[in-house]
Amino acid sequence: MKAIYETKGRAREYCELAINLYTGCSHNCIYCYGAAVTHQDKERWGQNPQPRKGIIVQIQRDAERYSKLNEKRPILMCFVTDPYQPVDDTHRLARKAILILKAYDLRVVILTKAGIRAQRDWDLLDKRDAFCFALTRCLVLCLSELPILLPSPTFTNHLHQPYLVGCPHLHQLFFC
């Protein structure tokens, strides 16, 4: 099993490397394609997500390998699950994974809909990393190198401003 994998198709437009930490996602968004792409039952997908077997050990192995290859591309967590869904309160895989990636000087992109729960690991991020806060139709990218995208000014009214302002990597805001 690879923990860090090369993405395919349209996903590559966003990030060429990614990690999926959990077997499902309890956010259970109605439009989620996670169950389909992982060949799981949609009903079960959101009910009892668990850590992928051996994921942290494999992240360690893969991070070492990518580091030796002098990898500079960012690694996204996660396309097919949410790193900060409630189960992560127990397992803290997101933090463990970030710690490993940073130990190997690899770049991280966090993609989550978990709101302020995701704030707890900002202390591990640096200016080469990114934090993406996604709502149903809203994507926010907080990074020195990437813009922040929102679908309309209406959405800004729903965003928790201290949450955004507190991001150490928040440099630009773009509304579209």
Tell me: does residue 29 bind ligand SF4 (CB under 6 A): yes
Tell me: does residue 28 bind ligand SF4 (CB under 6 A): yes
Q: Please give the backbone phi and psi of residue 3, each rounded to the nearest 5 degrees, phi first.
A: -90, -45
Tell me: does residue 34 bind ligand SF4 (CB under 6 A): yes
Closer to ligand SF4 by CB, 66 or 113: give it.
113
Residue 169 to residue 154: CA distance in whole angstroms: 23
Minimal distance, residue 109 CB to ligand SF4, in Å: 14
Minimal distance, residue 89 CB to ligand SF4, in Å: 15
Closer to ligand SF4 by CB, 71 or 140: give it.
140
Residues 81-100 close enough to bind ligand SF4 by CB under 6 A:
81-82
Tell me: does residue 52 bind ligand SF4 (CB under 6 A): no
Closer to ligand SF4 by CB, 10 or 68: give it.
10
Residue 56 to residue 147: CA distance in whole angstroms: 30
Considering only the stretches 24-32, 57-65, 101-109, 119-127, report the one whose residues sit in contact with ligand SF4 under the rule CB under 6 A.
24-32
Residues that contact ligand SF4, how many (by CB under 6 A): 9
Q: From the list 11, 16, 27, 42, which residue makes contact with ligand SF4 (rule: CB under 6 A)? A: 27
DSSP string, 52-111: PTTHHHHHHHHHHHHHHTT--S-EEE-SSS-TTSTTHHHH-HHHHHHHHHHHTT--EEEE
Residue 84 to residue 176: CA distance in whole angstroms: 26
Residues in the chain, overall count: 176
Tell me: does residue 63 bind ligand SF4 (CB under 6 A): no
Sheet of 17-19: strand order equals: 5-6, 17-19, 75-77, 108-112, 130-135, 138-142
Structure-token pair, residue 168: 């150490």
* Interface with ligand SF4 (CB under 6 A): 25, 27-29, 32, 34, 81-82, 113
